[in-house]
Structure 1
Amino acid sequence: MNSSLKQLMKSLLAPAFPGGIITILIFYLDYLQFELVEKFLLFAAFVIVPLVILLLNHDAKNTHQRMIYGAIKWLQYPAALLTLASVMSSKMWGLESTAIPGILSLGWLLFTLLLGIYGLTTIVISKGKAAEIAIGAGLVYFFIGGIWFTLYQYQFDLFEANVATHALSSVHFHFSSAIVPIFIGALGRIMTKKSWYPWVVAIDIIGPILIAFGMIFSKPIEYIGVTLFACNIVVYTAYLLAYLKKNALDIKAAFLLGLSCLAFYTVVVISIFYPLLKNMYSLTILDFIPIYGSLHAFGFVLCGLIGWVYMVDFIKKKKIVKW
């Protein structure tokens, strides 16, 4: 038993284990009467962000970046607990009409600000490397997600958008907007130089902004942003699958990254057949949201992050390619 516990503590994924247990309770305990969107936000705070931190490189010679990295590692869990307290105060403690949920949400806002600052330092010291710029942009998008979460908890009606839109915007920036650039950046670190890659990074940075702007002000702009973003993910998944097929890699990394790509394509297929399924089974978009959310959050994002954590470790040990 002791040896098993030691192996668990030495696991690459150990930082995400406590948050993983809390997330399971959040999703399955009837006692916690949270909205689905809030459950996904807490999943991001407790599991997704710790996994992202495992993928970050920091320059040992850069004192400021090293200090920010250390602060991020130490403050992530307390910030996630404050996020949970913020949601509980508005849903369970009868404080929804007070400023308490908003005040508690400031802990996560400040933490995502740290992530954003780290992202900006990554961009500044990247010397024009597209992969590092992509990862830096993804970290900045976490901060934008933190802003939307705080607006949601304060119940502000910003830009004449309702509070539910703030929650969806926060989820959008915590998952798609932040994670896809990080995935594309991780791929850029290990792939050979391609002329099209900087364009993929540029579109990947612009896409989330168009989607967020469109969600509030203009549906056509949102559709353009979603189309560009989806096309980018197709390029990422297609190249990644080809890379996995061509190279002998860690089996866990290859399996999980392949599963992540499969989850994305499943979402695409369901989206294509949505009108037919809706008519055949009298379903509404509300019936599909949990399916889309689960496939994206647990399939594409979670499997992809764990896969990249294993991939980074494998490449560092084997020194197959320059990292």
Structure 2
Amino acid sequence: MKLRPFILVHSLLFLLIANFSSQPWPSIMLTIGQIVYIPIVLQLISKQQGWLNRMYYYFAIPAYSAVAFLQWTDQTSWDGWVAAIYFLFTIMVAIYGVSRFLQRGFVHLEEFSIDLGLIYLAMGGAWFLAYEAGWNTGFSAILTWLTAIHFHYSAFLLPIFIGFLGRQAKSTAYRWISSLLLVSPLIVAIGITFARWIELLSVLLYIIGIGGLIFLAFQCAFQNLWQKLLVRISFLSLAVTISFSLLYAYGNLSHLFIVNIDFMLRFHGLLNCVVFALCGVVGWSLHVPSQKPSRSAFPISQIRGGLVIGENLMEIIKNDRNGPSYWGLVDDMRVYGVDKQTLSPMIIDFYERTIDYRLFAKINWSSWFKPLAALYRIWSKCMQQINLPIHHREIEMTGDIWRIRKDLDGRTAPRAWLRKIDDEIVFVALYSEHRTNERNYMNIALPLPWSAMIGILDVKPLGSGLQLTSKRDQQQSDAGIYLTWKRYVFKLPLEECFHIEEVQTGELRAKHKMWIFGLPFLKIDYKIKQK
């Protein structure tokens, strides 16, 4: 369905519902979101994939009919069942958001923002169902209904508008501002449920995030003048509404009410409904920024693990070939554009003849991550994969490199590097390489239960040393850490950097650092000596 007729149909449907509504006027604020804003925004997101067109008749039309029925009738014993039809529709939208994420992962923050908006809508559907069914949520009926509105506007429309803005012009500041706004809806819900001071804190976070969002909107170049005006007005209206939210949250905490619920309904609600949502939907409808490609089609190992990785996987490899058949992790370091005249000969020799070296390691978990590392250690000992000790004493890692059949793995010249501490398997990493856009990457797979973690590392000379990193230096780089499961390959919020250099004759030192969501959680110091 084309966009303009689609907007016309839903606008007329809303006018028909509103004209014959038997419910109090504030309920219209939620209805216009359900009947007009949500369908149009879904169409803007999914028109390239065609998802909404395929699912429209099965879930959307019954959902809109259910909303119309609830508006046209007085309260009945069937209201909960009717609202459940709309809730099912929001569940399908959330599943669509999850499927978008699984096809891409954390590659583009602006797309994740859109995914999260789609997922949050199911929470709005759940609160709408609770209100219509008359369930005891621990709150008054009006607060239950206001929470439903919150998840339809602040938690659904706002993240999607943030995602559209990120598609148009993404900067370094965008990452922090959008992350702050994406977690705020959940903090608001937690605050309303558990503590008023958390609610007040969430509003303060909203204020900081919205201020940054308005700044980005005024820095962004839009497609045309009307879109620029409408989108900026939409975001500016949030600065007004969030100010009154702050006064309301402060009143809940201090019991000095400057604004009450009635005022919030009349002023805050109408401003969000008419200015923020309407201007935003119309503005982005004028031009939807294109979605960036999700990832390059780099080769991925086809080997997956079971509950036990180490011994079972090595048994398969050993039975397939007798004895180690590769000397090193790489046959020739020149495939990575390495200049053998400038790079330390010992580093080159380590990668090309790895089995001729002894490897000593000191593992250092970040203090904040140690409780999680201790819990993971229980599982990793049984799994025999990424099985690192908690202590930071120096230990020696031993192991061999084994050939893997290409038809078993699917990549170029694959090989398995088995590492042990004493007799305990700690790593089984499957090494290969691939080339994208005239650039070679180290392609490493770590089999996991019925899945695999893929590390795509960019290899860069750094003086006389070498750096291998998953951090991207350009948008179209393959570098990153991914998880592959069935047909899905999505980027994880993990980064790693491995820096190796020769410190003295016959000895290399290396530092391996890892981050999750930008926070450092693991550092491994290696001492590498020739046997």
**Is residue 96 of structure 2 the alignment partner of residue 118 of structure 1?**
yes
Q: Residue 204 of structure 2 aligns with which residue?
A: 227
Question: Per-residue deviation at 1:184?
Answer: 0.9
**Is residue 113 of structure 2 the alignment partner of residue 130 of structure 1?**
no
**Is residue 12 of structure 2 the alignment partner of residue 33 of structure 1?**
no
Contact 2:180 2:209 in 1 (8 A): yes
Q: Which amino acid aligns with 1:81?
A: S
Equivalent in 190, 206, 210 of residue 187 of structure 2: 210
Change (3 A) 1:67 1:23: closer
Q: Residue 197 of structure 1 aligns with which residue?
A: 174
Partners of 1:212 and 1:265 in 2: how far apart? 20
Q: Which amino acid aligns with 1:307?
A: G
Q: Residues 278-289 of structure 1: matches in 2 within 5 Å?
A: 285-289=261-265
Partners of 2:95 and 2:139 in 1: how far apart? 28
**Aligned pairs, how many?**
283
**Is residue 219 of structure 2 the alignment partner of residue 242 of structure 1?**
yes
Change (3 A) 1:252 1:150: same
Question: Per-residue deviation at 1:73?
Answer: 7.1
Q: Residues 305-316 of structure 1: matches in 2 within 5 Å?
A: 305-312=281-288
Structure whose residues are more often helix by fraction: 1
Question: Per-residue deviation at 1:203?
Answer: 2.0
Question: Per-residue deviation at 1:233?
Answer: 2.0
State the TM-score, normalizing by the size of structure 2: 0.49
Q: Residue 453 of structure 2 aligns with which residue?
A: none
Contact 2:59 2:88 in 1 (8 A): no
Partners of 1:44 and 1:300 in 2: how far apart? 12
Contact 2:46 2:52 in 1 (8 A): no
**Is residue 122 of structure 2 the alignment partner of residue 143 of structure 1?**
yes
**Deviating runs (4+, > 4 A) in structure 1?**
57-60, 66-69, 268-275, 282-285
Partners of 1:198 and 1:121 in 2: how far apart? 22
Deviation larger for 105-114 or 223-232: 223-232
Q: Which amino acid aligns with 1:173?
A: F
SS in structure 1 at match of 2:172 = coil
Contact 1:72 1:115 in 2 (8 A): no
Change (3 A) 1:254 1:79: same
Contact 1:51 1:306 in 2 (8 A): no
Equivalent in 147, 150, 162 of residue 184 of structure 1: 162
Partners of 1:85 and 1:200 in 2: how far apart? 40
**Is residue 279 of structure 2 the alignment partner of residue 303 of structure 1?**
yes
Contact 1:138 1:178 in 2 (8 A): yes
Partners of 2:242 and 2:187 in 1: how far apart? 20
Q: Residue 3 of structure 1 aligns with which residue?
A: none
SS in structure 2 at match of 1:111 = helix
Q: Residue 256 of structure 1 aligns with which residue?
A: 230
SS in structure 1 at match of 2:287 = helix
Q: Residues 35-184 of structure 1: matches in 2 within 5 Å?
A: 35-57=24-46, 70-72=54-56, 75-89=59-73, 91=74, 94-95=75-76, 98=77, 100-128=78-106, 129-158=108-137, 160-184=138-162
Note the residue ranges of structure 1 that are not aligned, 5 or more in a row. 1-8, 61-65, 276-281, 317-321
SS in structure 2 at match of 1:126 = coil
Change (3 A) 1:220 1:15: same
Q: Residue 8 of structure 2 aligns with which residue?
A: 17
Instruction: Provide Cα deviations, 1:31-63, integer angstroms capped at 9, x if missing partner.
Output: 633234421121111111122113214775xxx
Between structure 1 and structure 2, the one with the greater Rg is 2
Partners of 1:223 and 1:173 in 2: how far apart? 18
Question: Per-residue deviation at 1:154?
Answer: 0.7
Note the residue ranges of structure 2 that are not aligned, 5 or more in a row. 251-257, 292-474, 476-531
Question: Per-residue deviation at 1:205?
Answer: 2.4
Partners of 2:198 and 2:111 in 1: how far apart? 27
Partners of 1:133 and 1:69 in 2: how far apart? 22
Instruction: Provide Cα deviations, 1:222-264, integer angstroms capped at 9, x if missing partner.
Output: 11112212322221122112214xx5x3233122213213423
SS in structure 1 at match of 2:23 = coil
C-alpha root-mean-square deviation of aligned residues, in Å?
3.0
Question: Per-residue deviation at 1:171?
Answer: 0.4
Deviation larger for 303-312 or 74-83: 74-83
Q: Which amino acid aligns with 2:146?
A: L
Change (3 A) 1:34 1:138: same
Q: What percent identity do the matched residue pairs reach?
A: 24
State the TM-score, normalizing by the size of structure 1: 0.77
Contact 1:210 1:221 in 2 (8 A): yes
Question: Per-residue deviation at 1:25?
Answer: 4.9
Partners of 2:68 and 2:194 in 1: how far apart? 30
Partners of 1:269 and 1:162 in 2: how far apart? 24
Change (3 A) 1:113 1:263: same
Partners of 1:232 and 1:48 in 2: how far apart? 23
Structure whose residues are more often strand by fraction: 2
Partners of 1:139 and 1:187 in 2: how far apart? 16
Partners of 1:24 and 1:59 in 2: how far apart? 29
Question: Per-residue deviation at 1:271?
Answer: 6.8
Partners of 1:84 and 1:136 in 2: how far apart? 27
Q: Which amino acid aligns with 1:148?
A: W
Contact 1:72 1:114 in 2 (8 A): no
Contact 2:79 2:132 in 1 (8 A): yes
Partners of 2:246 and 2:147 in 1: how far apart? 23
